[in-house]
Structure formats: C-alpha cells, structure tokens
Structure 1
C-alpha cells in the first residue's frame, strides 16, 4: 500500500518537486527487512507485514486481506468503545434531574445509575462478587431493564449501609428498590433446599432468626412481595418466606386439631386482623394471643413446620407480634428492617404493633450485631410520619437519607384522572351502568367502595346486570380472598369490587380502569386507589363519582389532580380547601350513604341490613322486590353462595338439601330453583 497516499488523502502535492520527500514513505518491494518484519497486528496500521499464519490463498488475495484487516480493526474499536462506556463518568446531577430524585440528609450517597453498578457497590460493602453477579443475571433474566428513580436512590443508600425514608409514586418499582439491595447485602444460605419450596423438618424447637424482615400491612401484599422476591432470587440460594405460610414460624402440632365454633371464630378473627389491622372493627385485639394459638394448632397449615435458615422474612404486624410474644421469631440478630407502606403502619391501628416490633429489634441485641438498618417506603408520606421516622431511624454516620421521587402527594402522570358529578346516591348506579353501555367500561376494572356491606350490594347488582363481578373484603377468609384474586388475575372475573384493604401496594396486571364509586376519605386513599392502574409506565384511567354531600371535600382531590399534571377546570381550582378538622372528621367517620339496593338497584335489603336499613325499613313494595331478587339470584347470599358451594363442595345448604332428599322432602322446590338459575 502507498503510505504517502494514505496520509495525504484529500490533498494535492507536486510529486515531481517533492519526489525525494515522498521516497522516505515508500517501501522497496525487494527490501529483505520489510519482507521479514513481523509487526503486531495492532501496530501494522498500513498492512505492511503479512500474517505469519496466513493461508496460501489469503496472501495472494488483496481484497480478502483488506476485509480481514477491517474486521480486526472494527473488533478492536468495539472493545475500546465498550471499555470507554464503562469507565465514562456518569453525570449524577443530570441523572437526578431526569428522574426527579430529591435527596436530603448529610453525606448523601450517590444514586446507582445501572444494575451493573450494583456489583461494585455491593462488593465494597462486603458482599461476595459471585452472589451479586448472580443477582444481576437474574435481574436481566426476568426482563427488567434500567432502574427507576426510586430504585437508583434506594440502592445507593442501602448499599452504603444507611437508613432511608423513600416516597415515590405508585407503580414506580418500590418493591424491587428494597428487595434487590437486601439480597445483595445478605450472603446466600448454605442449606440445600430450594428457595421456591420450603421443606418441613421434624423439629421446630429452634426459633427462626431472619437476617432481614419486611413488614407489610396486609397478607395479600405480603404474598405479592414474596412472589417478586423469589422471582428475583431465582435458584441462587436465598431463602425468602412469609410468616405463617408454608409452616414458617408455626410450632409443631402436639395435639389434634381443635374443632368447634371457638376455633373457627379465632381463625376468622386472625384473618381479619391480618387483612385490615382492625381498621373496620371486626378484630378483637384483647383475644389476639388466644386466637393466634388456635390458628397455629387448628389451622390446615400447622401440620408441617419449617426449621431452617431464613434470609428475608415477610410478615404482617400482628403475626410478627404474636411470634415475638411466643419467642418463635426473635429479632436480636436481624440486620435490616423494612416498613413497606410506612404511613399505614404508623397509623393508630398499627402504631402499637409497630412500636413492639421496633423495640424487639434492640432487645437482647449483641454488641457485634450492630444497629438495625431501617427503611421506610410508601407512595404517600405525611409530615407526621416523617417526624416519627426521624426519631426511629438514625443511619450510619450521616443519619437518615430522605428520598423523594416526583411530587410528594401526587399520582403518576400516566393516569388519566376525571371527576364525575352524580348529584345524589340514587344516580351512582345509573352512572355506572351508563359507563358500561357507552363502552367506557374496559375490563379488568377495579371499583372501590367505603364499606363491606356496600361491596356486597354492588357486586350483587353488577352480577344481576350480567357483569362477571366479585367482591373482596375483610369478611372473607384468607383462602377466599386468594381465590378471588387468582380468578381476577386469570380473567375469570372482569370487575372486582374492593374496600380500601386492596388499595395499597397490590399489583394487578393490566388494570385499565379504576372507579371510585364512593368518594375517598382522604387524599392518600385517593392516590393509593387510582395507583392500581397506570403502573410501570402503562396508561390507565381513573373515574371518581362525587355527590352534593362530597362537594366540601372535592378540593382535596383537585389538588392531587393538579399536582399530577391533569387538566382541571377553573371553577374547581376556585373551590375552598376543607379545614383540618373536616379532613380528620371524614377520615375517622365516612359520610353516611344510602344502601345501593335502595337507590336504583334491583331490590331492597331486609330490615336491619345495610347502613340505612338499620334505621328504617324498606319502602312499600320493597319486600316483594327483595323476594323476587332472592328467587332469581339463588337465595339471600346471591350467586356468591352458589359459587362457594361449587368451589368447596359440601356446604351447610348442600348438606341440608341431601338430608331433605333422603327424607323425601322438598325435592321439587330445589329443582325449580336450579331451573330458574339456569334460565
């Protein structure tokens, strides 16, 4: 190759005038030195030396040799670019502005820009490189991409061994923001059992000593976090479990199963306490220890107990308090404590239990164990909760780190929020039916109401209208709630009517529409309700019904909509803000509403049923409507009773029907009811 021509490309020279200078760049064809030189490929810029092990045909083909040289240069350039990208410094300030991350505190740790950067951070914190690399591979294997804003902030803070108070919008990935650093900081267990299946052992005398504990307000949310944690851990060897499930934390059964009304009552009360923490008043905390003992001895899951290492233990507050009193789960050696939905756990209904858990972390704690690192996460974080957090969390060195992603009291921008005026309670059901007939009712749909009774009534009305609906609330057992959630996830239930029990944290895939049938009692309740849609960057829609009675609190929701970037009419912005006393009164006691069946429903509830039924009886002709409704729907319980019979088999009504057939009584009436239902 003419080296001078290569260097002088694009320029014109007088070759005759500068012939002597050009000669310095020419290589003699018969130069023995040039012909025997063996320059490395990296230094052979002009292709002077031939490859030592080249094939006979390759040296004689200049085009093939040229392509080979181009391929090698491209490969070397790609390696150089990749190394430059890895070594290139990240503009953390620009990264924080892009993801709207606001960090407050002393000696703030840098956010983690990528999941690969977790490796070096975790190794610097004392973790094994092989464990963290396996975790990063699992992250990519399950289809996760770059971390979100709250994940960047939480990963950097927790890997720096600091306490964190994080507030981020719903659907922003808060679960993985504390699951991944916990797994990265905890060495893998040496037991050979699979993390997806906890095997039982013969002895359960030794107490469980989890290295990290995650507190969730409801059992449904605890089971969801368990699924996500096991999905991320994969088969790498970490042990994650829920207290009270799969025999974890359950004492070995010494006596036979207790039967009777007392055992059933205790089991139901404990389920209700787990679900709502006595928010709606069904659970009796005075008898809580006895109820827990009855569940552990008489429940179906008490047959096998698990005795082995636990890396991460997920639990509800009440179950953990019972375990602490029974000395089955001490927290003296626990290194990390995570409070998910922290604002809920610091409310009056959970505050006493949360205090007991925090006190147990420092009780009989050895000096070599160090302080417990704490983390609090939620989509809403009132100032009162922040003040409590400052007294609970200290962190290492610089104190607590406060991480706010986006606006503190706003929903995600991917949700299209709207308000619908329905005048009175009588028009709510008509407005809902109008949404259905106009094609705006796009399943799967979540509908929120303010009480258990209203959830039952609305579910019956929608079923009567031909909508495949179901209800989930604290009156149902944990098994029934699991079945309803599974049916909704499988698409067998199109519309799920919920109370605020399901408003927090639960991730229903693909929910396109959320309807607030009853006006939310606070801005936090509204944010968590509509946060069930528009998750992980997907679009969603939220419709809120409001009546004249709700007009005084409308500005609370309008402020959230404006902070979220939604278009709000000027007349709504001009509304006065409700007073603090009015907000507290609404939060403690919701507005009294007429029974749904008394509005535009298909019938009237019995005397003594519902909220208004306790004060007065049905209207004239209501009794006949109620009986007609019961005859069509299959009894007072509606289709729920029939569905329960189909799923569980022999129920009280089924046994009674068999007894009647054996005695030769009422076989015709039962057959007539089945024919009516089929029609």
Structure 2
C-alpha cells in the first residue's frame, strides 16, 4: 500500500494531471484505501485523525464521478459534504477548487456556514455540484428554499465526532430526512463512541472500514537546533537564516498576531516574500495565504499556533520558532509540521536569555537535546 501511485487507484488521466499540477507526490494511506472503494460506489467508514489526508480521499473520486455528469443550472445539490466548522468548510471547498481548475468540466463547489450574511450564499446556489456546509446554516438555507436536497447522490459526513460533540445531532437527523434514502454515504471521524456506532449502523450499508492510527511524531526525523540571540537581534537573525539558506518553503511561528504582522512587514521590507496567517485575517485571506505558500508563490508563511493547526503540507522543509510556544506539547505540534511522511525536516528556534529555562523544560519533556548555537560569528 505504501508504494502505491495515484494512477493505480482508478483515477482518470485528467485527475492524475490535476494531482501532478497540485504537487501531490503519492497517496496517503487513507487515500490509497478510500479512493478505489469510493469509485466502486461503496459506503465508507473512515476513522482517521486530522491531517491524515482524508479530504482528498473523498474530493478526488467525487470530482471524477461529476466529470461524467452534465453541468446543471438548478438548485438541486448532487453532492453534500457536512462539516462541523466554517474553517473546515472553507478548507474542503479550497481543495475541491484546486483540483477542479485543471479539469475539462469545471465543478462548482460552494461552502456555506453561519456568522456571515446568508444572502450571498443563497445567490450562489444555482448550478452547485458540491455543497460543503455546517448543519445550522444548511437548515437556514433549506428553510428559505434556497436549495433542494431531493437529488443528493453522495453524502459525506466529515469529522462526525466533532459534529455530534458540538450538539448538532438533531440538525443532522433533520438534514438526513431531506435526502433520498438511496445514496452513497461516506463518514469520517477521528474517534469512535456509542452515539457514533448507533448512527453508523443506521446510516451505512456494508461499509468499507478504514482505520488510520494517529501519526506518531518521530522527532528523530527532524534536525533540530537553536540560536542564542538577544531580543533586538531576532529579526536580523531570521532574515540572515532565510537569505543564507536554500529552503524553498519556510514556516515561521510567532506567539502573537501582532508579532506575526511585524515579522512579515520587516521581511517584505528586506526583499523577502512573506505572508501572515492568523485569526485576525478573513477566511478568504487565510485561504489565499495558504494557497500561495503551498504552491510556492510565497516562500515564507508567518503563523500563530491557533491558525497553524490548519496547515497540512506533506513535505515542508523548515519550521522556525521565532518565539517559543507556551507548552512543550505546542512546540512538538509546531515542529511536527515538518519531518512528515517519512521525510526529514529541520526546525530552528531563536532563543533569548529569558527563553533558556523554558527551552530546557521543552527539551526535557520531548526527551531530546537540542544543540544551542552562538550567533557571535554571524554577520547580522
């Protein structure tokens, strides 16, 4: 399964070309198992953690199935993807759009969620192929007759444990009552409990069961080192490292939004292509920033911890901790953005005098010594 290629999964030439253009190297384990079953129109149950590559495991076969259907102008939705949060809704829609760009028949994907005006969302419904929705907003749209679920052929329930934990059980049941009984069902969840078991037995027919264990971060695959530096020389040191290294993509972590913005400002002023990624940015701006970074159009992405959890890049060469996170767990999560899928990566931390004690605690919890380098000989 490890050495499988996307071509062997039953995807057509157009999609293989789209996958190559999107720089996907090889399928994640969940993609290798789910895609062939999906294309055979089986129901699927996937127990898989966030970051395991599950979005592409259902978006790719959906796009292939839709290639054989005529474009339509109605408000009847053929594919519904139900998700717990607006962040995930936007992320899924972005993945679909990224692949769809390269296909002969463009697939129209729309994401809808609460917290924003409903009118623009209502106006987008005509000709929608894939609707990615949070439960509450979807029911609002149904009540306004903005769309119809009477022709849904494929239903994807993503991060279902989170949907139920957020108290959306009634809403989900209401949505299910609007959809034809005869359809293909795909359910993904990071965990399994009794409530979910009940739902699975009533919803899925003889599903293909896939279990992906959470990735255990192998810190030995990450080449870690740190530089001892004064607070005022952190900026010059960061610029020195970026300018003198040959890394194509660099993810920089800061502890605050303000610092992230300041770092980006200084990098751009010094001729380094950088963009910020944090909670103060609009969803559209975050999607754009991540897309530019992933495609290599922007070399440096400066992120805060909360926003950084949505970053999933298969082969990221370098993470820089401009500031240390509060907890050792967050430190491991940060550096875990690199050294994935069996590839080696690098993690550099910039350590001030005040950081030394905290950095020792992080190393102790991680059970790994990190070499502390001097910056005295560097021309900053």
What is the TM-score normalised by the length of structure 1?
A: 0.42
Note the C-alpha offset of 1:162: 3.1
Distance 1:411 1:212, change over 3 A: farther
SS in 2 for 1:239: coil
Note the C-alpha offset of 1:147: 4.3
Measure, in 2, the Cα distance between the counterparts of 1:329 and 1:520.
46
Q: Deviations over 1:564-594 (max 9, x none)?
A: xxxx349xxxxxxxxxxxxxxxxxxxxxxxx
2:265 is the counterpart of 1:452: no
Which residue does the alignment assign to 1:328? 146
SS in 1 for 2:192: helix
2:34 is the counterpart of 1:154: yes
Contact persistence 2:227–2:350 (CA under 8 A): yes
Unpaired segments ≥5 residues, structure 2: 371-380
SS in 2 for 1:243: strand
Measure, in 1, the Cα distance between the counterparts of 2:150 and 2:218.
39
- Following superposition of structure 1 onto structure 2, how do residues 119-138 of structure 1 map, counting pairs within 5 Å? 135-138=11-14
SS in 1 for 2:346: strand
Higher helix share: 1
Note the C-alpha offset of 1:443: 5.0
SS in 2 for 1:165: strand
Which residue does the alignment assign to 1:141? 17
> Of residues 281, 286, 307 in structure 2, which corresponds to 1:476?
281
- Higher RCO (Cα < 8 Å, 6 or more apart): 2
Contact persistence 2:81–2:158 (CA under 8 A): no
Q: Deviations over 1:417-460 (max 9, x none)?
A: 526486xxx95664564354353584532222344334234434
2:209 is the counterpart of 1:209: no
- Following superposition of structure 1 onto structure 2, how do residues 293-304 of structure 1 map, counting pairs within 5 Å? 293=118, 296=119
Which residue does the alignment assign to 1:593? none
> Of residues 159, 179, 198 in structure 1, which corresponds to 2:59?
179
Distance 1:148 1:330, change over 3 A: same
Measure, in 2, the Cα distance between the counterparts of 1:549 and 1:356.
46
Which residue does the alignment assign to 2:378? none
Which residue does the alignment assign to 1:390? 197
Note the C-alpha offset of 1:151: 1.7
SS in 1 for 2:252: strand
Note the C-alpha offset of 1:374: 2.7
Which residue does the alignment assign to 2:376? none
Contact persistence 2:254–2:324 (CA under 8 A): yes
Measure, in 2, the Cα distance between the counterparts of 1:448 and 1:504.
11
Measure, in 1, the Cα distance between the counterparts of 2:150 and 2:163.
22
Unpaired segments ≥5 residues, structure 1: 1-94, 100-112, 120-134, 194-200, 245-273, 275-284, 560-567, 571-679
> Of residues 172, 197, 221 in structure 2, which corresponds to 1:358?
172
> Of residues 25, 32, 44 in structure 2, which corresponds to 1:163?
44
What is the TM-score normalised by the length of structure 2?
A: 0.68
Q: Deviations over 1:496-521 (max 9, x none)?
A: 22234543455669753222434276
Distance 1:497 1:188, change over 3 A: same
Note the C-alpha offset of 1:179: 2.1
Which residue does the alignment assign to 2:131? 313
Contact persistence 2:66–2:107 (CA under 8 A): no
2:214 is the counterpart of 1:408: yes
Measure, in 2, the Cα distance between the counterparts of 1:474 and 1:313.
24
Which residue does the alignment assign to 2:186? 374
2:97 is the counterpart of 1:227: yes
SS in 2 for 1:393: helix
Measure, in 2, the Cα distance between the counterparts of 1:413 and 1:554.
11
Measure, in 2, the Cα distance between the counterparts of 1:393 and 1:506.
29
Distance 1:464 1:485, change over 3 A: same
- Following superposition of structure 1 onto structure 2, how do residues 76-115 of structure 1 map, counting pairs within 5 Å? 95=1
Q: Deviations over 1:285-326 (max 9, x none)?
A: 8xx4xx524xx26xxx88x64523x44223466754543454
Contact persistence 2:6–2:16 (CA under 8 A): no
Contact persistence 2:222–2:345 (CA under 8 A): yes
Which residue does the alignment assign to 2:304? 499
Contact persistence 2:108–2:129 (CA under 8 A): yes
Alpha-carbon RMSD: 4.7
Higher strand share: 2
Distance 1:169 1:328, change over 3 A: closer
Contact persistence 1:222–1:315 (CA under 8 A): no
Tell me how many residue pairs correspond in the alignment.
354
Which residue does the alignment assign to 2:156? 338
Measure, in 1, the Cα distance between the counterparts of 2:61 and 2:5.
13
